[in-house]
């Protein structure tokens, strides 16, 4: 099932690639919707996807900052759809995050910029940066996906 608010180039690619699975694949998935994610921009030529996620009260840890697992979920909710846009179906094999700064609720939104770095056989290599609207980086990730 395709969401109506997807950018046109994203919607077109998903519709083309998922024609045989359109009733089985939910784009965006329920977790993306629960996190109130938003697809901002897809650069098809450079294999880059940027998404935005609000910093929600229910995502805060006991210290009042965004919980690390939620940050990882925002990264996964960017690299996952990017993998679907640029390659055959795959799954996350490894994901490594380096947290640089805490994310306070006052930031309001985090932006995740995912990029396909390399395809090597059945392996897809991605990077992702989590930042605010001014470019201040909070986390950096590397991920490897395995094509089915």
Which structural domains are found in the chain, ordered by start?
A: 8-147 (3.10.129.10)
Q: How much is the pTM?
A: 0.92
pLDDT of 28 above 90? no
pLDDT of 5 above 90? no
125, 116 in Cβ contact below 8 A? Answer: yes
pLDDT (tens digit per residue) in 42-86: 999 999 999 999 999 999 999 999 999 999 999 999 999 999 999
45, 56 in Cβ contact below 8 A? Answer: no
pLDDT of 2 above 80? no
What pLDDT was estimated at residue 1? Answer: 52
Q: Which residue has the tokens 């998404």?
A: 51
Nearest to 89 by CA among 113, 124, 117: 124
91, 81 in Cβ contact below 8 A? Answer: no
Cα pseudo-dihedral 80, 82, 85, 90, rounded to 10:
-40
């Amino acid at each position: 099932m395709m969401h109506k608010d997807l950018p046109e180039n994203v919607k077109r690619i998903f519709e083309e690639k998922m024609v045989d699975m359109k009733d089985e694949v939910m784009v965006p998935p329920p977790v993306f919707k629960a996190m109130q994610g938003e697809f901002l921009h897809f650069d098809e030529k450079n294999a880059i996807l940027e998404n935005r996620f609000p910093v929600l009260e229910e995502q805060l840890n006991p210290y009042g900052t965004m919980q690390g697992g939620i940050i990882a979920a925002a990264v996964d909710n960017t690299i996952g759809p990017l993998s679907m846009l640029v390659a055959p179906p795959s799954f996350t094999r490894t994901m490594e995050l380096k947290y640089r700064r805490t994310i306070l609720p006052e930031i309001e939104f985090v932006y995740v910029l995912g990029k396909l770095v390399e395809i090597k056989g059945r392996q897809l290599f991605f990077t992702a940066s989590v930042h605010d609207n001014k470019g201040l980086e909070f986390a950096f990730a590397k991920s490897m996906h395995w094509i089915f």
